[in-house]
Amino acid sequence: MKADPVTMEVIQNALGSLADEMALVIMRTAYSSIVRDSMDYSTGLCDRQGRAIAHGLTMALHLGSFPDALAQLIADYEGDMRPGDMFVWNDPYGGGGMHLPDVYIVKPIFFEGQLEGFAATLVHQTDMGGIAPGSGAVFAIEIYQEGLRIPIIKMYEEDRPNQTFFKLMAKNTRLPDKVAGDMRAQVAACRSAEAGYLALLERHGVDTFRATIEALHDHAEALMRAEIEALPDGRYEFTDYLDGLGEAPEALTLKVSVDIDGDHLTVDWSGTSDQVPGAINCPIPFTKSAAFLVVKCLTEAEIPNFQGFIRPIHLVAPEGTLVNPRLPGACGARAIIGWRMLDALFGAFAQVVPERIPAAGEGGVSFPAIGGWHEGRPFVCTETLAGAWGALPDRDGVHGIPNPGGNITNQPVEMIEALYPVEIERYGLVQNSGGPGRFRGAPAFVRQYRLRTQEARLVIRSDRRRFLPYGLAGGSPGTPSWNILNPGPDQRLLPVMPMEAVQLEDGDVLCHISAGGGGHGAALERDPERGLADVIEEYITLDYARLVYGCVIEPQSLTLDAAATATARQEMRTVGSGETPVYLRLFHQPLDIAEVRLVGERELCLKPIRPGDG
């Protein structure tokens, strides 16, 4: 049966709307702030073979993991699914999971007695037990330390709840009410999608619906093949590095090659570092998801979210490495590898389609978790912090919107303070940060927390301190990230990824400064009027404008002296310097005297960074 184009368009858009509706159901009914406010979850629909046919509007980096997860569900339960069944799991080793907090809840959809599809949700649960609040301890060395590992099991069997599962879940999490509430939100989203999916089947009939789904998979594949074929054949390599773990970190290598051959594309991670005795190892579903996301980002055609688009994309990820660990490798903090795989892949594709690729951003989300007991009840405050893009070929890096890997949000300050014994003392953009360029990288942001209870433990995952966000086309790297405990004379500089929980006491302060985005193009090619605008908007200071961009600005009237600017730039071009670039001097050394201010603020944000040897 041949599908007609009008029906294809109608069904494709209807499925997309259902997946978005699932996302809204979860957002409106979830209990925890990491789900409701950060939006760290994903929704999708799959056909009767478990192939993705729609993605919701939330966490992009999750979505490419659905094919592996649904394939494993079908392999385990083919012939043993009934109307009213619903499945739950999180296992990264044998379940298509990514880390234990990311819990799948999936509902098979039956029509006239036949399996016709799946409603799929994936939610980052705020706590799944284990040795650290939030179940994201970087210092875990095997998965058995990280929390409750759930194989693919029936959460509901023909609409009857699996009470054993619910009892086990309640006993293995610090926040059983929040986890139960978020799981109920997933269940509600699946049931909502089921109703809409059945209405589509009723309206179009099974034969038409199935034929249209097949046609849309083939259409997505054809569009992707055409996009790949339009790229120049060749092998394009890029190597990036993570700072590493603990107080004496050793650099970790992410090496990728992209091979384009006609309408086929291979992403090969050979040469990447071996898996480590820490929780940043990244299970293969997330590695696949990163590759699919980047390839789809750089295409120009509007490719439907049908799994057929991945058919021309082949992945090589050697087992036992950071991007494909073996059991029992810990993976609770694996997302940092996923975000940084995006950077590496964009670096490779910058050699293929440079006009479409941004410089590196902040390196993905930083993930602090502060947990303990307050007034006789446990609490876990977790956040996903992002929002400093690298510059694009035609514009400055944007701030205040998520990293390209995820449509997530930073939680409102008022919500955090209402829910947890935590005060947010600082939140804003850091002046004179980001990487200079013809187009500058987005400024770094700062988030500063003060504990307002007797004690708690902090775990944090961040990156991009030693290995800065790269610039492109002569742009400068971005500025580094910092984690500072109790800023001031007796402050303690924390590693990007501490290999222990940090004990906090009442009144202790954590200041996190993100990395700033990389620049694009040479700084001295920046339009001087843009430099003036940045001074007026207080993104940069007068001295910074002069020393970095050669922009000479009259301080009283805030007007640009064009002739003096041209002279200053000519001098800067002819006088080279082997010193640390001036824009990094205030950001590149551990900390105690320089003023770092927020954009638009006159007060000090903190007192970091003593200039000195690197």
What pLDDT digit, counting tens, does each position of 361-377 carry?
999 999 999 999 999 99
- Provide CB contacts within 8 A for 43, sequence distance 6+: 19, 20, 22, 23, 26, 55, 56, 58, 120, 121, 122, 189, 193
In a domain, 474, yes or no: yes
Residues 32, 180, single domain; the answer is yes
pLDDT per residue as tens digits for the range 311-358 = 999 999 999 999 999 999 999 999 999 999 999 999 999 999 999 999
594 is a domain residue? no
593 band by pLDDT with thresholds 50, 70 and 90: very low
- Which of 523, 539, 557 lies at the terminal end of a domain, its last residue? 523
Report the greatest alpha carbon distance in the chain. Answer: 79
Average of per-residue pLDDT values in the chain: 92
Q: Is residue 455 part of a domain?
A: yes
Is the residue at 546 inside a domain? no
Indicate the number of domains in the chain: 2
The residue type found at 608 is P
Residue 574, pLDDT score: 83
Q: What is the pLDDT of residue 576?
A: 61
- Assess whether pLDDT exceeds 90 at residue 408: no
Q: Among 222, 237, 255, which residue terminates a domain? A: 222
SS (H, E, C) 63-114: HCCHHHHHHHHHHHHCCCCCCCCEEEECCCCCCCCCCCCEEEEEEEEEECCE
- Closest-CA residue to 105 (of 36, 39, 37, 188): 188
Task: Give CA angle at 527 (522, 531), nearest 5°.
Answer: 95
Percent with pLDDT over 90 in the chain: 87
Q: Residue 504: pLDDT band by 50, 70, 90 thresholds?
A: very high
CA distance 549 to 527: 9
Say what the pTM is.
Answer: 0.94
> For strand 264-268 and strand 313-316, is the pairing parallel, antiparallel, or unpaired?
parallel
pLDDT at 518 over 60: yes
- Residue 363's domain comprises 358-523
- Residue 73 domain-assigned (yes or no): yes
Structural domain contains residue 496: yes
- More confident site: 527 or 492: 527
12 belongs to a structural domain? yes
Give how far Cα 391 sits from Cα of 305, 361, 566, 595, Å: 27, 8, 24, 25
Handedness of CA 452, 457, 462, 463 (dihedral sign): positive
- Please say which residue of 202, 222, 242 terminates a domain: 222
User: Does 480 map to a domain?
Assistant: yes
